[in-house]
Amino acid sequence: MKRIGFYLTLPLLYFISILPFRILYVISDGLYLILYYIIGYRKHVVRINLSNSFPEKSKAELTKIEKDFYHYIVDFFLETLKCLTISQSELKKRFTIENGHLLDDLLKKGKNPIVTAGHYGNHELGNLALSFLIKYKPKGVYRPLTNEYFDQLFYNFRTKFGTILISMKDAAKEIAKVENFNYAFFLINDQSPPPDRSYWTTFLHQETGFFTGIERFARQYDMPVLYMGIHKVARGKYNIKVELIAEYPNALPEGELLEIHARKLERDINEYPSTWFWSHKRWKYTKVNGEIVPISYKK
């Protein structure tokens, strides 16, 4: 059944992918109305996340963020389909990088950095653009899809310009490898981790757990850590901003790398909240009086 569904869907995906961006955004405007006003995809999850993250905002302000998010998530989906057929020349028109010299400086020293980020901005297009925006070969950790046919499709377009993808279960083994080329190891860290193995901090007004891989890998292999945010500057156009967290991670107190990551991501979300994935069930757990407490997103 998965195979049949995949092959029935594939021609439509490629047809959408070859459409010009201006046509995609006309389609997006229509799909937004259906998704938001008729389907209401995970609207209760979005509203819980927004109200808990921005208790200081009025109902009107939260509604505006909510609508902007749904409009963006349709843009994101259609832009991601463009990854199937997009060229490097088209990507070059749509992406710029700020502070890229920070990566160049580390490369001159022969250091392979860890780059931390969140699901902020279009990370799928950004992944493809990084293959020519930076001099490092990107290695990205990802979570495979349950449908193996769609997983292979996504794997193929994500790697078509040279990015190396690593399944989450193989991340520790991959980072321990000695390579004959320089690479940047990308870790997205804003999903819901196992609560008993998390770094806990206040994030968007809530007690929040973070995966600890950034901290563990950076300290074990003495790898510099950078933060990367993909900022939307116009529809379909993005600026990737690079910031140094630490060149010498072991010089920082335990937990500081993750704390800085959380603060930078929080700053970006506060600045432009509609391009973060509010439909994720990010807060499956929180802490109350030091105790880990599960949170239900059920209506």
CA 39: distance to chain centroid?
A: 25
Ordered by start, the domain boundaries in the chain are 2-284
The whole-number pLDDT of residue 2 equals 77
| 210: enclosing H helix or E strand | strand 206-210
pLDDT of residue 176: 92
Q: 3-state DSSP call for residue 187?
A: strand
Which positions of the chain have pLDDT values less than 70? Answer: none
Please give the distance of CA 110 from its chain centroid, rounded to a whole number: 27
Name 84's Cβ contacts closer than 8 Å, sequence gap at least 6: 13, 14, 17, 153, 157
What per-residue confidence (pLDDT) applies to 232? 97
- Residue pair 149/2 in contact (Cβ under 8 Å)? The answer is yes
Residue with tokens 């377009």: 157
How far is the first Cα of the chain from the last one, in angstroms, to the nearest whole number? Answer: 31
Helix (H, G, I), strand (E, B) or coil at 179: coil
> Torsion angle, CA of 262/263/264/265, rounded to 10 degrees?
50
Q: Three-state DSSP class for 175?
A: helix
pLDDT value, residue 1: 75
For residue 291, what pLDDT is reported?
92
Whether 127 and 139 have beta carbons less than 8 Å apart is answered as no
The residues pairing with 186 across neighbouring beta strands, listed in sequence order, are 115, 140
DSSP structural state of residue 57: S
Taking CA atoms, 298 is separated from 43, 92, 281, in Å, by: 11, 43, 11
pLDDT of residue 110: 96
In this structure, are residues 174 and 137 in contact, taking their beta carbons and an 8 Å threshold?
A: no
- Enumerate the H helices of 115-255 as residue ranges: 123-133, 148-159, 171-175, 213-221
